[in-house]
Amino acid sequence: MAIFILVFILLMAFLAIALLLGIAPISSKAKSRTMYVGATLMILIAVMTCDYIDMQTDLTAKIRFHTVLIFTIAVGYFCIAVAYMEKYNTVKRKNQKLEEALTAKKQEKVSILLEQQNEKQKALLQGELEWLANKIKMFTEEEQKAILACAYAFAEHDLIVTPSIVIQQNDTCSQQDLMYFVCSAFFNMGKKRCDIVSFLYKVFPLYFPAGERVLAKKMPGQERVKERREKENN
């Protein structure tokens, strides 16, 4: 009876230690090793208990030590489960860190690509606005500033605003030329045809007295504008 109580107390104590180690803030490696040692001890205790059971003649004593055997096996399995759980958590944490590192790398690459695209887009907008500025030099300086301010707002922010002054018709810039200048610049920026029509009508109302619908019909297509631009460059 005394041996049964002693073994049972030792098992309870080890189970309590195993539970505390399971939640203790120590390294996973230390926890796993401790649990494997505990499982090994449980195997030894189980073997010794089996031998002790065979030596018993009293049925009550045999039942008690069978209880100890079952409890020993349960504690051993618990130790193995904790060890494997720690190993699983360690692998999981490593995978999570790897995923986070890969995600951070991908985000960094995406940020670099977006930054490069933004720089290219800004360079494109700047180049087209400069090209447009050279094409509208026949207008007065004040008119040029007003046109370019509206063009910048449209290019950068998709805003179609009324110029600060009324842009007068210029004899050296025909309706067709004006449509070509504006369409060529904004088509290259990727602007929609309908938005370019609205821009032309709002910024140059004196050039298009027939209205926006008539302007939309007269406005040249993207391919035609592109061909004229290529011929001009060549």
Residue 7's pLDDT is 58
Residue 61's pLDDT is 64
Residue 165's pLDDT is 93
CA dist 144 and 138 (Å) reads: 9
CA dist 35 and 14 (Å) reads: 10
Residue 40's pLDDT is 74
H helices then E strands: how many in the chain?
A: 8, 0
Residue 114's pLDDT is 65
Q: Residues of 152-177 as b/e, b for ≥16 C-beta within 10 angstroms? A: eebbeeeebeebeeebeeeeebeeee
**Domain residue ranges in the chain:** 2-109, 136-233
Closest CA to 187 of 44, 179, 217: 179
Residue 199's pLDDT is 94
Residue 94's pLDDT is 77
Residue 2's pLDDT is 47
Give 10-residue mean pLDDT values along the chain (234 residues): 54 60 61 69 69 64 68 72 75 78 73 73 87 92 93 90 92 92 92 93 93 90 88 80
